[in-house]
């Protein structure tokens, strides 16, 4: 009796220890990771046997374990595997959802290697959906990450897929180049399957390019490798390609033999991979699984029944207990070490992240302050350069000086354009560009752009052709300024790089949904073209064809970067097709809302400002105060006003300006912003405390968009940016004086 009690006590103790051990093992990250990895491997084995249901089941179980332990890396891998499986069973939309979830997690965890594979698979999904440009973008991202990780196998596989994409786009020359890289790298790394498939696809490409002998040679090389290694799908494709090639050259008997081999192998593949996804199959699977578990339980019960040797059982249990306790002690020790290491690593990473965040914020502020300072410091002397060059050109210079002055003016204008481009790129990158949709006539807008650029085209002996889809309405609601800027950049580029040629501008409808038109814009030329190497980087900032092209044709290299940024803001896409010495085509699509409201017409009155013979404006008693601390700018502004027969006083600081306004009756104040003492903004705020009606213009070299709210709060009437165009300057002064005269009448 005491022996039975001892047995029961031992069993109870053992069961408690087993339960405790099981719970401890469930909490062990290493054991959990092993379980997850095992499920993933089982899924891959099932996939290779074309058992897609079992593969899906294993991945679902692995995902449950990974979610339970919040194992981000494993979750990302499993989601990517599910996406691959969904691609195979033709569930492309589900595949996109799974892969994008994987990409999000892998980006957050910096799992670059698996992220590269996810990008590659997503590219394959978009090939299946026939969106080849999107597929190409994902392959480029995958290739970049594989190169970063120095994984030649991944690069070779991605190059193969990229080559097949170019084949689908019918860009066979580019496909040939990429496939040659893929086969060479596959051979170097021993990837026979990739090498075999690359050879077969090269055969297809050479066939399309008209070299049938080379096509047959490469296809047969791919066939040999596929046959030696039993690469069934590649072998099947090779048979079909060779059948077609031999048929083309008149070798009909060999063509029929290859075709028969292809048909036989196709039937075999279909029988092997035919899978039916029905509820009956799922129920049958679950029943089989349950029956297996019942069978195992019965066998265990039978074994327990037969084993009546109490002493042997006690001995076995004792040994098992000692073993479990030893393992438990070891597991607790390892868990404690892992926990300590993990905590130390987390503290270290948190500290590094905080430092990195502070550095990034400081760098961003430094960049913004630097650009603001540089902009002001460059625009201020530019005011002198452009102002003086304009004056000298108008003051009857010597014939020998005219060209020098024009060159000086051109340099100033070029530098101002460059500054404006840098500022716009900075605003695009900082997401500070807002959309300003308004009704406008698209056809009229493009005609105006062509008219504005026609002189430049004629200088290069270039003829511009415009085609507007007759099924496309003319009136839309969109940000016409940004669309104009995109077209001006693209058409201007075509003019610059085309000599004695033609430019075609085509606008047509792609699709319509809920009154939103997807409009395609094309700008094609037959100029010097762009090499494939340069096409890959052409939308980056400061990127041009080459140093020689930069010297010959000029330009800042920012135009296409601005174009890409603006098209992204307009929710569109841009692509380019080009071949050296044959020409270039840029095409982009953007959504635009159709409207029946016509564009508001703007009356364009050509006024000869300050011409006393054609207007009755009395300038004899007009007094203007110029507040400017730069001596050269004082001289230029005074010279401009004197030419308009206007009198002015000049003050070089904000404090004296406030005193002068209090003691004199000025019609207009031209107020600089940055000055010693109080700034122009502070001076204007003081003036507005005692004079609400005085016309005060902000004469400033700062970036207007960044300071607009400050100017409005200070109470400026309007803003004149430096360096300004004299015509615009005269117009604003004239309108202000006319308004004053009408109020006093």
pLDDT digits (tens, 9 = 90+) for 78-108: 888 888 888 888 888 888 898 888 898 888 8
Report residue 338 as tokens: 């892992």
- Taking the C-alpha atoms of residue 284 and residue 298, their distance in angstroms, rounded to an integer, is 21
* Residue matched to tokens 């000029």: 554
Q: Is residue 232 part of a domain?
A: no
Long-range pairs for 703-711: beta carbons < 8 A, 24 or more residues apart:
703/371, 703/372, 703/375, 703/423, 705/427, 705/432, 706/372, 707/673, 710/681, 711/681
Same domain for 632 and 585: no
pLDDT digits over 355-393, tens only? 777 777 677 667 666 665 666 566 667 666 777 777 777
Q: Could you tell me if 597 and 475 are in contact, meaning their C-beta atoms sit under 8 angstroms apart?
A: yes
Same domain for 518 and 471: yes
pLDDT digits over 187-219, tens only? 888 888 888 888 888 888 888 888 888 888 888
Q: 244-258, 283-297, 334-348: which has the highest mean pLDDT?
A: 244-258
- Assign 571 to helix, strand or coil: coil
Report residue 165 as tokens: 């994409």
- Taking the C-alpha atoms of residue 293 and residue 718, their distance in angstroms, rounded to an integer, is 84
- Assign 724 to helix, strand or coil: coil
Q: 325 or 306: whose pLDDT is higher?
A: 325
Which range has the worst mean pLDDT, 301-315, 369-383, 708-722? 301-315
pLDDT of residue 658: 92
- Taking the C-alpha atoms of residue 453 and residue 472, their distance in angstroms, rounded to an integer, is 24
- Assign 467 to helix, strand or coil: strand
Nearest residue to 704 (alpha-carbon basis) of 479, 367, 427, 485: 427
In whole numbers, what is the pLDDT of the chain averaged over residues?
Answer: 77
- Taking the C-alpha atoms of residue 177 and residue 193, their distance in angstroms, rounded to an integer, is 19
In angstroms, the Cα distances linking 94 to 58, 125, 139 are: 18, 10, 20
Same domain for 443 and 584: yes
pLDDT of residue 421: 66
Same domain for 646 and 567: no
694-709 as b/e, with b when 16 or more CB fall inside 10 Å? bbbbbbbbbbeeebee
Q: Is residue 50 part of a domain?
A: yes
* CATH of residue 73: 1.25.40.10
Average pLDDT (51-58) is 80
Q: Is residue 709 part of a domain?
A: yes
- Which residues share a beta bridge with 670? 626, 697
In this prediction, residue 623 has a pLDDT band, given cuts at 50, 70 and 90, of confident
Nearest residue to 625 (alpha-carbon basis) of 676, 697, 679, 675: 697
In this prediction, residue 590 has a pLDDT band, given cuts at 50, 70 and 90, of very high
Nearest residue to 617 (alpha-carbon basis) of 724, 727, 717, 744: 744
* Largest Cα–Cα separation, the chain: 133
Q: Could you tell me if 582 and 498 are in contact, meaning their C-beta atoms sit under 8 angstroms apart?
A: no
- Taking the C-alpha atoms of residue 280 and residue 574, their distance in angstroms, rounded to an integer, is 49
- Taking the C-alpha atoms of residue 383 and residue 482, their distance in angstroms, rounded to an integer, is 27
Handedness of CA 293, 294, 298, 299 (dihedral sign): negative
Q: Is residue 348 part of a domain?
A: no
In this prediction, residue 278 has a pLDDT band, given cuts at 50, 70 and 90, of very low
Question: Angle between the 152-168 and 132-149 helix axes, to the nearest 10 degrees?
Answer: 160
Collect all residues with Cβ–Cβ distance below 8 Å to 409 and sequence separation of at least 6.
386, 389, 390, 393
pLDDT at 682 over 80: yes
Nearest residue to 186 (alpha-carbon basis) of 156, 143, 162, 231: 156
pLDDT of residue 323: 80
Which range has the worst mean pLDDT, 302-306, 493-497, 708-712, 726-730? 302-306
Collect all residues with Cβ–Cβ distance below 8 Å to 154 and sequence separation of at least 6.
113, 116, 117, 120, 142, 146
pLDDT of residue 612: 42
Q: Is residue 405 part of a domain?
A: no
Average pLDDT (334-338) is 76
Q: Where is the domain boundary, 594, 611, 645?
A: 594
Tell me the Cα Rg of the chain. 38
Same domain for 557 and 666: no
In this prediction, residue 251 has a pLDDT band, given cuts at 50, 70 and 90, of confident
Nearest residue to 504 (alpha-carbon basis) of 592, 583, 580: 583
pLDDT at 275 over 50: no
* Cα end-to-end span (Å), the chain: 126
- Taking the C-alpha atoms of residue 721 and residue 702, their distance in angstroms, rounded to an integer, is 8
Which range has the worst mean pLDDT, 207-216, 219-228, 305-314, 734-743? 305-314
In this prediction, residue 466 has a pLDDT band, given cuts at 50, 70 and 90, of very high
Q: 5-14, 480-489, 731-740: which has the highest mean pLDDT?
A: 480-489
Nearest residue to 628 (alpha-carbon basis) of 666, 667, 683, 693: 683
Residues in the chain: 745
Q: Where is the domain boundary, 117, 150, 183?
A: 150
Same domain for 532 and 629: no
Report residue 141 as tokens: 């991202």
Question: Angle between the 92-108 and 72-88 helix axes, to the nearest 10 degrees?
Answer: 160
Same domain for 657 and 539: no
* CATH of residue 638: 3.40.50.2300
65-81 as b/e, with b when 16 or more CB fall inside 10 Å? bbeebebebbbbbbbbb
Supply the DSSP symbol for 78. H
Q: Where is the domain boundary, 548, 579, 594?
A: 594
CB atoms near residue 85 (< 10 Å)? 21
Q: Is residue 245 part of a domain?
A: no
Q: How far is CA 658 from the centre of its chain?
A: 51
- Which residues share a beta bridge with 607? none
pLDDT of residue 708: 64
Same domain for 639 and 549: no
What are the φ/ψ torsions at residue 249 (nearest 5 degrees)? -95, 5
Q: 8 or 740: whose pLDDT is higher?
A: 740
pLDDT of residue 313: 63
pLDDT of residue 59: 83
Which range has the worst mean pLDDT, 234-243, 345-354, 671-680? 345-354
In this prediction, residue 625 has a pLDDT band, given cuts at 50, 70 and 90, of very high
CB atoms near residue 372 (< 10 Å)? 15
pLDDT of residue 304: 54
* Residue matched to tokens 């306004």: 661
Q: 430 or 54: whose pLDDT is higher?
A: 54
pLDDT at 13 over 70: no
Q: Is residue 3 part of a domain?
A: no
In this prediction, residue 604 has a pLDDT band, given cuts at 50, 70 and 90, of very low
Average pLDDT (322-341) is 76
Q: Is residue 505 part of a domain?
A: yes
- Taking the C-alpha atoms of residue 606 and residue 348, their distance in angstroms, rounded to an integer, is 69
pTM: 0.41
Q: Could you tell me if 159 and 188 are in contact, meaning their C-beta atoms sit under 8 angstroms apart?
A: no
- Taking the C-alpha atoms of residue 76 and residue 99, their distance in angstroms, rounded to an integer, is 9
In angstroms, the Cα distances linking 594 to 382, 512, 591, 610, 614 are: 42, 10, 10, 43, 43
Element containing residue 518 per DSSP (H, E): strand 516-525
Average pLDDT (162-181) is 87
Q: Could you tell me if 595 and 581 are in contact, meaning their C-beta atoms sit under 8 angstroms apart?
A: no
Q: Where are the alpha helices (DSSP H) in 468-602?
A: 480-496, 532-535, 547-553, 559-569
Same domain for 709 and 567: no
Percent of the chain with pLDDT over 70: 75
Domain count, the chain: 3
What are the φ/ψ torsions at residue 243 (nearest 5 degrees)? -60, -45
Question: Angle between the 252-273 and 232-248 helix axes, to the nearest 10 degrees?
Answer: 160
pLDDT at 7 over 60: no
pLDDT of residue 66: 80
Domain that holds residue 51: 26-150
pLDDT of residue 169: 86
- Taking the C-alpha atoms of residue 170 and residue 297, their distance in angstroms, rounded to an integer, is 61
Q: How far is CA 359 from the centre of its chain?
A: 24
Query: 475-478 and 438-441: which strand pairing?
Result: antiparallel
In this prediction, residue 443 has a pLDDT band, given cuts at 50, 70 and 90, of very high
Same domain for 630 and 533: no
pLDDT of residue 388: 73
Same domain for 645 and 511: no
Report residue 512 as tokens: 């319509």
Percent of the chain with pLDDT over 90: 12
pLDDT at 629 over 80: yes
Same domain for 590 and 627: no
């Amino acid at each position: 009796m005491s022996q039975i009690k001892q047995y029961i006590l031992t069993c109870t103790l053992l069961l408690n220890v087993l339960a405790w051990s099981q719970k401890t093992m469930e909490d062990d990250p290493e054991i959990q990771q092993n379980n997850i990895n095992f499920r993933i491997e089982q899924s891959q084995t099932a996939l290779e046997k074309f058992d897609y249901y079992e593969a899906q089941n294993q991945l679902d179980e692995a995902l449950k374990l990974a979610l339970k332990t919040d194992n981000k890396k494993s979750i990302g891998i499993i989601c990517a595997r599910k996406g691959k499986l969904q691609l195979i069973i033709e569930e492309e939309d589900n595949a996109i959802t799974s892969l994008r979830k994987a990409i999000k997690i892998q980006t957050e965890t910096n799992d670059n290697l698996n992220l590269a594979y996810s990008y590659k698979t997503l590219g394959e999904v978009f090939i299946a959906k026939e969106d080849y440009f999107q597929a190409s973008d994902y392959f480029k991202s995958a290739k970049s990450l594989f190169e970063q990780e120095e994984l030649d196998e991944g690069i070779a596989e991605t190059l193969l897929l990229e080559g097949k994409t170019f084949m689908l786009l019918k860009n066979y020359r580019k496909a040939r180049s990429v496939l040659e890289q893929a086969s060479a790298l596959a051979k170097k790394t021993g990837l026979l399957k990739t090498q075999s498939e690359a050879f077969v696809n090269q055969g297809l490409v050479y066939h399309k390019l008209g070299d049938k002998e080379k096509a047959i040679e490469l296809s047969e090389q791919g066939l040999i490798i596929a046959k030696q290694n039993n690469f069934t799908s590649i072998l099947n494709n090779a048979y079909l390609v060779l059948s077609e090639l031999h048929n083309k050259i008149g070798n009909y008997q060999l063509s029929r033999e290859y075709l028969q081999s292809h048909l036989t192998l196709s039937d075999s593949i279909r029988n092997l991979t035919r899978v039916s996804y029905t509820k009956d199959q799922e129920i049958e699977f679950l029943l089989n699984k349950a029956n297996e578990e019942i069978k195992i339980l019965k066998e265990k019960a039978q074994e327990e029944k037969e084993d009546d040797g109490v002493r042997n059982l006690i001995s076995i249990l004792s040994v098992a207990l000692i073993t479990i306790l030893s393992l438990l002690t070891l597991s607790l020790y390892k868990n404690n070490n892992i926990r300590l290491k993990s905590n130390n690593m987390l503290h270290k990473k948190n500290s590094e992240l905080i430092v990195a965040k502070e550095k990034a914020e400081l760098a961003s502020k430094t960049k913004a302050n630097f650009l603001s300072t540089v902009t002001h410091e460059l625009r201020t002397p530019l005011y002198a350069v452009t102002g003086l060059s304009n004056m000298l050109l108008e003051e009857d210079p010597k014939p020998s000086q005219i060209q020098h002055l024009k060159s000086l003016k051109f340099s100033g204008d070029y530098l101002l354009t460059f500054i404006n481009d840098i500022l716009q790129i900075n605003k695009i990158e900082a997401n500070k560009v807002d959309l300003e949709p308004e009704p406008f006539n698209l056809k009229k807008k493009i005609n105006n752009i062509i008219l504005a650029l026609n002189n430049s085209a004629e200088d290069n002996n270039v003829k511009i052709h415009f085609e507007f889809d007759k099924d496309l309405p003319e009136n839309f609601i969109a940000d016409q300024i940004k669309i104009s800027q995109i077209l001006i950049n693209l058409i201007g580029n075509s003019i610059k790089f085309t000599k004695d040629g033609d430019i075609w501008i085509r606008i047509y409808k792609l699709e319509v949904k809920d009154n939103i038109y997807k409009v395609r814009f094309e700008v094609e030329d037959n100029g010097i073209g762009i090499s494939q190497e340069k096409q890959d980087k052409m939308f980056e900032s400061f990127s041009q064809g080459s140093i020689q092209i930069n010297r010959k044709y000029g330009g800042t290299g920012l135009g296409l970067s601005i174009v890409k940024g603006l098209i992204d803001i307009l929710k569109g896409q841009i692509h380019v097709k080009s071949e050296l010495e044959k020409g270039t085509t840029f095409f982009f699509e953007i959504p635009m809302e159709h409207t029946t409201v016509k564009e508001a017409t703007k009356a364009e009155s050509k006024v000869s400002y300050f011409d006393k013979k054609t207007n009755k404006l009395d300038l004899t008693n007009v007094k203007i105060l110029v507040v400017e601390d730069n001596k050269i700018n004082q001289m230029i502004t005074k010279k401009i006003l004197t030419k308009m027969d206007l009198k002015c006083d000049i003050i070089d600081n904000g404090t004296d300006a406030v005193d002068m306004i209090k003691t004199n009756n000025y019609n207009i104040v031209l107020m600089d912003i940055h000055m010693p003492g109080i700034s122009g903004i502070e001076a204007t705020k003081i003036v507005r405390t005692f004079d609400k009606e005085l016309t005060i213009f902000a004469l400033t070299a700062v970036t207007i968009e960044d300071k607009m709210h400050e100017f409005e709060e200070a109470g400026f009437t309007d803003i004149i940016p430096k360096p300004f165009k004299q015509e615009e300057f005269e117009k604003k002064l004239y309108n202000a004086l006319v308004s004053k005269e009408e109020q006093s009448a």
